[in-house]
Chain A
Amino acid sequence: MADVIGLWIQAILTIMITTLAWKDTPVSKTAEHIYVGVVTANSIVMAWGNIDSIGLSKIFAGDIIYILPVILGLMAYFRYSKENFWIYRYPIALVVGIGVGTAMRGLVGSSVIDQVKDSFWSLNVPGDIGASVNNLIMLVTLVSALIYFLFTIKVARGPIATRLSTFGRYAMMASFGYSFANTIATRINQYAGRISFLVLEWLQLG
């Protein structure tokens, strides 16, 4: 019984929220508000799981130092206080510091050094003219797109550099075309999942 009720709830909510694409009506508004409520609740439940298993249970197991993040986490709620707002700055300062440190240390290697290292393409691949031509195209594209993103260097505004950077922009537009087509594929796939639910599981036409 619970399964059948569940199936109908699922189907009705799916249709209700789809109408959002057509027009903002009380029906779609209701669905949207339920959505916001339950999604937020779910993330609170998951967050509680982390506080419980990584914070509290370690304290009870004798790892007393984990009382620190719990206190800091509670301090974060001073964000809603007008007078003692500054207390919130301690936990957020730590979270920002940790996040920035973790990202910055890896960015140098992954986004910069390794990218450059992988770009030493040979323009003379023995016995494979196609590969050589492709490497040349990649080189021109990469360099011209990099030149396109130079903003404070006057040399990069010379006639050749300007032409290259225009080419760079065109190459990026072609890539965006590819990416845009892929976006359409993603969205259709997502909706296809819903349609196959409605047709196969709810209406059981298959």
Chain B
Amino acid sequence: MSQRTIRRQIPLALTFITGMIITFDWFIKWEPLQSVTKTILNFNVVMVAFMMGFAGVNLIMLHTRRIKRNMSQNKMLDVAISVMLLACLIGWSAVGIFMGRSSDTYQWLYSNFNLPLSSTAYAATLFYLASATYRVIRARSTETIILVVVSIITIMSNMPMFVTYIPALLIFKTWIANVLVKASYRAITIGVGLGGILMGVRTLLAMETGFLGAVEE
């Protein structure tokens, strides 16, 4: 077998075959096909779990590089921050894997570090969003006027305070959700669905080969 076959064509064939097996399992009731599909689906969980380690490896590579660079430029604060990141990464992983994820130590680490950081980092986007509503969103064209008016009314209808005094807000909110939003998002859903299927067709036919990585053979 040539190198091209081993390095490129067999993987692409594997994609096609697994994709087809799983697709046909949806339409055909056949015992052997069902059990093969079941096994493949479970394999997927294990393989994806292995691939979740990439994020850790990437971080270690990136930050060792950064530490070297910042050492040479004498930026000690940045070095310290990178070292801390690596220490957290390795420390947490070690505790979680060796002492067990349901151990009290890991639970303590999680609730006092991960929980506040994770929830606040996500929630702090409120401030950018808030700032955008004030500084960037302007009713400058018919489209944006429609958008701004609908969002003002929806914000109000999400608040019990306004709904208590203006009950019509609730009727408006229900109407817009069940009529306008449902119908227009249905058009988008159909489009996105067709797009997704076609993306699948292109992938199985080896026309989208980005996942193979490096361009050279």
Interface residue ranges, A against B (CB under 8 Å): 2, 5-7, 9-11, 13-14, 17-18, 20-22, 26, 29-51, 54-55, 65-66, 68-70, 72-74, 76-77, 79-80, 85-86, 88-108, 110-112, 115-116, 119, 134, 137-139, 141-142, 145-146, 148-149, 168-185, 187-188, 190-191, 193-194, 197
- A193 B92 Cβ-Cβ under 8 A: no
- B147 A174 Cβ-Cβ under 8 A: yes
B191 at the interface (CB under 8 A from A): yes
Give the complex CA separation of A149 and B113 in angstroms.
46
Name the interface size band of chain B: 35 or more
| Chain B contact surface mostly | helix
**B197 CB contacts on chain A under 8 angstroms:** 104, 107-108, 112
**B85 CB contacts on chain A under 8 angstroms:** 33-34, 36-37
With A40-B56, A48-B97, A193-B123: A98-B19 Cβ-Cβ less than 8 Å: yes
Interface residue ranges, B against A (CB under 8 Å): 6-8, 10-12, 14-23, 25-27, 39-57, 59, 61, 77, 81-82, 84-93, 96-97, 101, 106, 108-130, 133, 142-144, 146-155, 158, 175-194, 196-197, 199-201, 203-204, 211-214
22 contacts between A and B (CB under 8 A): A21-B128, A26-B77, A33-B84, A38-B109, A41-B88, A41-B93, A43-B52, A44-B97, A47-B49, A49-B101, A50-B45, A54-B42, A65-B39, A69-B47, A86-B6, A91-B50, A98-B40, A105-B26, A112-B190, A146-B187, A146-B190, A170-B146
- B117 A187 Cβ-Cβ under 8 A: no
Task: Return B144 CB to nearest CB of chain A, in Å.
Answer: 8
**A107 CB contacts on chain B under 8 angstroms:** 193, 196-197, 200
Select from chain A the residue with minimum beta-carbon distance to B145: A173
Give the complex CA separation of A54 and B186 in angstroms.
38
| Chain A contact surface mostly | helix
Give the complex CA separation of A11 and B96 in angstroms.
23
Select from chain A the residue with minimum beta-carbon distance to B143: A173
**A101 CB contacts on chain B under 8 angstroms:** 18-23, 200, 204
Give the complex CA separation of A46 and B55 in angstroms.
13
- B126 A44 Cβ-Cβ under 8 A: no
- B47 A173 Cβ-Cβ under 8 A: no
Give the complex CA separation of A51 and B96 in angstroms.
14
